[in-house]
Amino acid sequence: MRNKLLIEAVGTFFLCLAAMVASSPLPVAALLCALIYMGAPVSLAHYNPAVSLAFRVRGRSGTRALWAYIGVQLAAAVLAAMAAGYLLGHDSEHAKGAVDALSESAFTGFGVTAVVELLATFALAFIILMVGTSRLTAGNSYYGLAIAVAVLGLSGTFGDFNPTMNPAVSLASSLLGLFSAIFDGLIGTKTFVTETLFLAKVAPRILAEVAVQFVGAALAAWFFRILFPEDR
């Protein structure tokens, strides 16, 4: 189990880091492809708490393994946010946006965001289950490429809505502004206070977004079991 968790930590860290640092989805998908081929023989290369839940509902992992995977993935996401904050530095435009957002409801436009996250996470999780766990595709060598292309395609399809399809990436992205302010030495300044208040305000929205991602992944696993009841 130790090696599995360490691989999940490494893979999730670099996936979250790429999602925050890369300027387009293409390098993220390319890195994800390599990370999947790297980690699949050891941990099955989830790198995503929602995918870990899908594997549990699918019947391919236990409850203890699920919680261990999720804990490691979220911890890796926090570390990735710290690294990205140090590398990128603080964005003054983000601070201005945070000030404007403080006067609005945290759930403005959330309905569309929720639908997009639900659909995208469902599609991603179902594709992963099909190419990674189905008897129909057992032994294939294209699973990493298929998953990476799925991420690239879904990111392009729903690009205007910026879906993450991954609770770990959602967590890391939400912490980026705060960590970038810390590493720029802005602790105690108005900018740091603004980032802290902004994070506190959007926290319920982030939690709701993560809940939707979990629902999408669970529905994908349930749909898989309905389609292939003999595939256990």
The DSSP code sequence of 129-188 is HHHHH-GGGTT-S-HHHHHHHHHHHHHHHTGGG-----HHHHHHHHHHHHHHHHHTT-TT
pLDDT band at 90 (very low <50, low <70, confident <90, very high): confident
For residue 86, what pLDDT is reported? 93
- Structure tokens that stand for 7 in this block: 């691989």
pLDDT digits (tens, 9 = 90+) for 142-170: 999 999 999 999 999 998 899 999 999 99
The yes-or-no verdict on residue 72 having pLDDT over 80 is yes
Contacts of 30 (CB under 8 A, 6+ apart): 148
Q: What is the CATH number of domain 2-227?
A: 1.20.1080.10
For residue 101, what pLDDT is reported? 64
CB 20 within 8 A of CB 82: no
Round the average pLDDT of the chain to a whole number and report it: 91
